[in-house]
Amino acid sequence: MTQNKFILPSALAMLCLASIVVLRQGQTTPSLPSQLPKYLAIKLNTNPETISQASTDYGHIVHVNASAVFEPTSVNDIIELIKYSNSIKKPFTIAARGQAHSADGQAMAHNGVVVNMTHLGDFRNGSGIIVSDTYVDVGGKGDLITCSAENNSEAFYAVLGGLGQYGIITRARITLGPTPSRVKWLRLLYTDFSAFSRDQEHLISLDDTNAADYVEGLIMLNKPPLQFSFFPASDKQRITSLVTEYGVVYALELVKYYSPNSETMVEKEVANLVKGLKFVPTFSFEKDVSYVEFLDRVHTDELVLRSKGLWEVPHPWINLFVPKSRILDFNKGVIKGIILKQNISAEVFLIYAMNRNK
Ligand SMILES: *[C@@H]1O[C@H](CO)[C@@H](O)[C@H](O)[C@H]1NC(C)=O
Ligand SMILES: *[C@@H]1O[C@H](CO)[C@@H](O)[C@H](O)[C@H]1NC(C)=O
Ligand SMILES: *[C@@H]1O[C@H](CO)[C@@H](O)[C@H](O)[C@H]1NC(C)=O
Ligand SMILES: *[C@@H]1O[C@H](CO)[C@@H](O)[C@H](O)[C@H]1NC(C)=O
Ligand SMILES: *[C@@H]1O[C@H](CO)[C@@H](O)[C@H](O)[C@H]1NC(C)=O
């Protein structure tokens, strides 16, 4: 196998526009028959409150009621449900619901059956990457298939990328590895988008030993509320002034993991990574946190938003791949030309540089 030595970065822009709310017209879908075989009926919960709980997801954009919520106690229950649906003239919709972290209703089943996957309990066992999944093929006959990157790999990747629409994953094995204990976490602020994206592309082009462990970009708009939780309170004023002056500031986030006995070394590595980067002089901020605090950073934001009643709101989300050759146009046309010009609130707007050859 030849390896592509050329690095072709493209950027993944992720944005969440709070002002977009998509309304769906109720479609006519096949519905659950009123009489079901007893072995299935006893596991169906038709309590209006339970149904209503299963009628929304993280996205809060789609709201549809299932006819029932299925509470399986074994994988076999799920197989029976799917086989039954497929055996009747008009199969009903079946959707698997775990934590319902979908943004567009994928965990709902209009007039059908939502399978409450948490009833199967959680599995915490195994040793890095997903090596094997077992899942029930919804589209087909309800067969239980074991798949991995090597075995039944087509099914494996279809399920991984299938947004819950290809099959129901009933078991997954995830290999665990040692974790670092601490994290150097930096945010570098840019007012010049081309310097920002050049530096992002540079950082992801480094080989593994020198590279950052994590590189992200986010935009800060001159709109309340500015996300300040990362920055020292004493710098709040000058950051606000920068954002106000330019309307938009690009924050490059750079992370390096380390263990307690390698702090001196990680400080040198971070200094090397930052050397030569073209952020606005003096606008570099660093935090030192535990690995768990870093991994759990979104949860911290969630708690703040929950306390303000701003969590249970629509969460439209779009991922776009933009080729490197057009990323400057994207800044000019979308970030400046639309978001800034039309004074739109982009709640969370993330930009990642990516190597096309991984
Ligand atoms: C699914 O089951 C879990 C565990 O029994 C329960 O806590 C949760 O409320 C159920 N969710 C739905 C949508 O029925
Ligand atoms: C779902 O069912 C609940 C309880 O019956 C009801 O209050 C709610 O309006 C229904 N939602 C939709 C989208 O039909
Ligand atoms: C973890 O998996 C191994 C191999 O499948 C099994 O022998 C062991 O009992 C499992 N441990 C737990 C806690 O489930
Ligand atoms: C490979 O997939 C087949 C068919 O699902 C299954 O019977 C077999 O156990 C799998 N083998 C491994 C090593 O996972
Ligand atoms: C932009 O939107 C903010 C609210 O997010 C508002 O306070 C401000 O007046 C708007 N500016 C203009 C020029 O419309």
Percent of the chain exceeding pLDDT 90 equals 57
Q: What is the predicted pLDDT for the residue at 226?
A: 64
> Which residues face 288 on adjacent strands?
184
Structure tokens at 287: 């935090």
CA distance 106 to 21: 17
pLDDT for 139 equals 57
Judged against a pLDDT cut of 50, whether residue 326 lies above it is answered with yes
Is it the case that residue 130 has pLDDT exceeding 60? no
Report the separation in Å between the CA atom of 131 and the middle of ligand 3, taken as the mean of its atom positions.
15
Q: Torsions phi, psi of 159, nearest 5?
A: -70, -40
Q: Which residues pair with 10 in a beta bridge?
A: 323, 354
Which residue minimizes the CA distance to atom 13 of ligand 2?
A: 64
195 versus 159: which is more confidently predicted?
195
At residue 53's C-alpha, the angle toward residues 162 and 67, to 5°, is 75
- From the list 177, 181, 179, 178, the residue with the least C-alpha distance to 261 is 181
Cα separation values, 256 from 9, 128, 352, Å? 21, 19, 16
* pLDDT at residue 26 in the model: 43
State how far the Cα of 266 lies from the Cα of 273, in Å rounded to an integer. 10
Q: What are phi and psi of 305, to 5 degrees?
A: -65, -40
- Distance of alpha carbon 96 from alpha carbon 79, whole angstroms: 12
For the structural domain made of 5-176, what CATH number should be given?
3.30.43.10
- Mean pLDDT along residues 337-342: 93
pLDDT tens-digit map of 45-104 = 999 999 999 999 999 999 999 999 999 998 889 999 999 998 999 999 999 999 898 999
Residues of the chain with CATH 3.30.43.10: 5-176
Residue written as token pair 């708009």: 221
Mean pLDDT of 313-317: 89
Rounded to an integer, the average pLDDT of 165-189 is: 87
The Cα–Cα gap between 48 and 32 comes to: 16
Q: Determine which residue's CA is closest to atom 2 belonging to ligand 4.
A: 146
Most confident segment among 121-130, 221-230, 288-297: 288-297
The CATH number given to 182-351 is 3.40.462.10
Q: Are strands 44-45 and 68-70 parallel, antiparallel or unpaired?
A: antiparallel
d(C-alpha 358, C-alpha 352), whole Å: 13
- For residue 30, pLDDT over 70 is answered with yes
**Average pLDDT in the 270-284 region?**
97
The per-residue pLDDT for 311 is: 87
Q: Quick one: pLDDT at residue 124?
A: 55
Structure confidence at residue 17 (pLDDT): 36
Percent of the chain whose pLDDT exceeds 70: 85
Instruction: Name which residue leads in pLDDT, 6 or 354.
Output: 354
Ligand 1 nearest-atom number relative to CA 100:
13
Q: What is the pLDDT at residue 122?
A: 60
- Dig out the tokens for 185 from the structure: 């976490």
Q: What's the whole-number average pLDDT of the chain? A: 85
Give residue 166 CA to ligand 1 midpoint distance, Å. Answer: 22
Q: What angle do CA 160, 43, 37 make, to 5 degrees?
A: 105
Do 240 and 226 meet the contact criterion of CB atoms below 8 Å apart?
yes
Q: Model confidence over 246-255: pLDDT tens digits?
A: 999 999 999 9
Query: For the segment 204-235, what is each residue's pLDDT rounded down to a tens digit?
Result: 999 877 899 999 999 999 887 666 788 999 99
Q: What pLDDT shows up at residue 134?
A: 67
Nearest ligand (C-alpha, residue 44): 1
pLDDT bin (cut points 50, 70, 90) of residue 284 is very high
Neighbouring CB atoms inside 10 A of 39's CB total: 11
Strands, E, within the chain: which ranges? 9-17, 44-45, 68-70, 94-97, 113-116, 130-136, 144-147, 168-174, 182-190, 214-221, 248-258, 284-290, 318-323, 346-355
- Name the DSSP class of 333: I
Determine phi and psi for 321, rounding to 5 degrees. -95, 125
pLDDT of residue 170: 82
Instruction: Write out the two tokens for 260.
Output: 């307690």
Ligand 4 centroid to Cα of residue 151, in Å, is 6
The predicted model gives 308-312 an average pLDDT of: 87
- At position 90, the amino acid (one-letter code) is K
Tell which wins on pLDDT, 347 or 126: 347
Q: Is 343 in the pocket of ligand 5 (CB under 6 A)?
A: yes
pLDDT of residue 155: 84
- Pocket of ligand 4, beta carbon within 6 A: 132, 145-146, 148, 151-152
Range 345-351 average pLDDT: 84
For residue 180, pLDDT over 80 is answered with: yes
Which has the closest alpha carbon to 223: 17, 58, 64, 70? Answer: 17
Domain(s) labelled CATH 3.40.462.10 in the chain stretch across 182-351
Nearest CA to ligand 5 atom 4: 223
Q: How far from 284 is each of 7, 92, 280, 321, CA to CA, in Å?
A: 27, 55, 8, 28
Ligand 3 centroid distance, CA of 205 (Å): 40
Residues 6+ apart with CB under 8 A from 223: 343, 345
